[in-house]
Amino acid sequence: MFHQLDRLLRLCCVRLSLGSLSVQASVLSGLAAAGLAMTVNAGALAPSNHDGSHRRDTTQLVSRALLANVASDGPYQLTPERRALLNTIRYAEGTWKDGTDQGYQVMYGGGKFHDLSRHPETVVIKRYASAAAGAYQFLPATWKGVAKELDLETFEPKHQDQAALHLVQRRGALKEIDRSGLTKTAMARLAPEWASFPNISGRSAYGQPVKTHQELARFYSENLQSLRRQNRPA
């Protein structure tokens, strides 16, 4: 799939317009090799107003999976290494959705929610019972704790990104990833946070289905290479 997308997106140029705002976004060869995708539904993921309508967010014209080395709305800088990690967590947790921002609206079991002003706190019973939601499948209690620590007022994508990096930092894996990438040691440190990540022996910390070290390392590496090419100075 990656190679087919790469051929389709090679050196293509997408022009996105919204009212008087026009953004020129070049999709460089290799972005699709990591499954990255553009989204043209600007504002679709803005937090809902109390009446259920969506506020328009004209700043989000491309998928967040492509955003690195940009100003972050929080304490954690979004370097290519950290964006590749976030994308890999989404891949492992089943919210990658080909890199589109729809992954930020996924509940456990694959259903979607629409109000990004808050965590949905909806228990879903599939193989297990869980209220996990968002790109990084935050449990309600986890989200409330991190949101309080970081003063996050909504569940919108930029806040989910910051919260996920905060969890990585708390698990002692952020410096390891910044320095050496997604190593087996880093995966093992994240295994108690995300059940889809393998511990040092390759198993889930919770006895659930888990990705292999090799699969996650490969996805991370391909994603990081694409992000670095994208953010290379002209």
What is d(CA 20, CA 36) in angstroms, rounded to the nearest whole number?
27
**Which tokens sit at 24?**
């020129």
In SS3 terms, the chain reads as CHHHHHHHHCCCEEEEEECCEEEEEECCCCHHHHCCCCCCCCCCCCCECCCCCECCCCCCCCCHHHCCCECCCCCCCECHHHHHHHHHHHHHHCCCHHHCHHHHHEECCCCECCCCCCCCCCCEECCCEECCECCCCECHHHHHHHHHHHCCCCCCHHHHHHHHHHHHHHCCCHHHHHHHCCCHHHHHHHCCCCCCCCCCCCCCCCCCCCCCHHHHHHHHHHHHHHHHHHCCCC
Active site residue 93: yes
Phi/psi of residue 191, each to 5°? -60, -40
Catalytic residue among 81, 93, 176, 193: 93
- Residues forming the active site: 93
